[in-house]
Chain A
Amino acid sequence: DTEVTQTPKHLVMGMTNKKSLKCEQHMGHRAMYWYKQKAKKPPELMFVYSYEKLSINESVPSRFSPECPNSSLLNLHLHALQPEDSALYLCASSSREVSGSDEQFFGPGTRLTVL
C-alpha cells in the first residue's frame, strides 16, 4: 500500500465552525506533514510530525491545531478560520528507514472553503 488518503475531499465551513481534516498512511512512514497550498503557489509547510511528536511548526496560527494519534494517522483541527484560510490542504508522509530516502508521498488533499 503506497497510498496516503485524506478525508474529506472537499469542505465548506463557516468562520465559527469547528472541523477536522484527516490523513492516513499504512506505509510505516514515521514522518507526516501538513501543507497549505493556494492557487498557483507551491505548497507551504505547516507542521511536521516525526515519530508521532511535533518536530516543526512553521508559526502557524493557533486556529490550526495538529494531532498525531498514532503513527498512521494525522489530523488537523480547524476552529474559527478566516476566508483567507481557504486553500488545498495536503498531507504527506516519508520515511528514510522505509524507502531509504526522504521522498514524500502526498495525499490528494482537502479543498477547504471558508465562508
Chain B
Amino acid sequence: RKEVEQDPGPFNVPEGATVAFNCTYSNSASQSFFWYRQDCRKEPKLLMSVYSSGNEDGRFTAQLNRASQYISLLIRDSKLSDSATYLCVVNKNNNDMRFGAGTRLTVKP
C-alpha cells in the first residue's frame, strides 16, 4: 500500500463546477497535512494546510479526518485558472514529507 494515495483523476470539469479530491495516508502518527498545486513545468506551491477542524480559504475547503486517515479538498465555482495538478502531502514524522501521486484537474470553458 502506498503511503499517500490520491484519486487518480484526471478530472475534467466545466467552469463553475464543484470538484472534490480525496487522499488517504497509511501512517497514523503523521503530523501535518497539506494540499499543494503544481502547474506544468513549475514548482509546487502551497494551497492550504489541513487541520482537523477543517479550514476554508475562499472557494477552497480542506478537511482532515484523523480517525479515517483521510484528507479532502473541495473547490467550489471552479475557474479556468484552477487547472493544475493537486498534490496531497503528509509529514510522516520530523519533516519526512510524502507526496501523493497528484490529481490532474482541467477546468473547461
| A interface list, Cβ under 8 A from B | 31, 33, 41-45, 48, 50, 55-56, 90, 94, 101-109
| B interface list, Cβ under 8 A from A | 31-32, 34, 42-46, 49, 87, 89, 91, 94-102
> Can you name 21 A-B pairs with beta carbons within 8 Å?
A31-B95, A33-B95, A33-B97, A42-B99, A43-B87, A43-B99, A44-B99, A45-B97, A48-B97, A50-B94, A50-B95, A55-B94, A55-B95, A104-B46, A104-B97, A105-B46, A106-B44, A106-B45, A108-B42, A108-B43, A109-B43
A-B contact count, CB below 8 Å? 54
* Known interface pairs A42-B87, A43-B44, A108-B42; A103-B49 also in contact (CB < 8 Å): yes
Query: Majority SS of interface residues in chain A?
Result: strand
| 4 closest Cβ pairs, A-B complex | A42-B99, A106-B43, A102-B32, A31-B95
Chain B residues, Cβ within 8 Å of A42: 87, 99-102
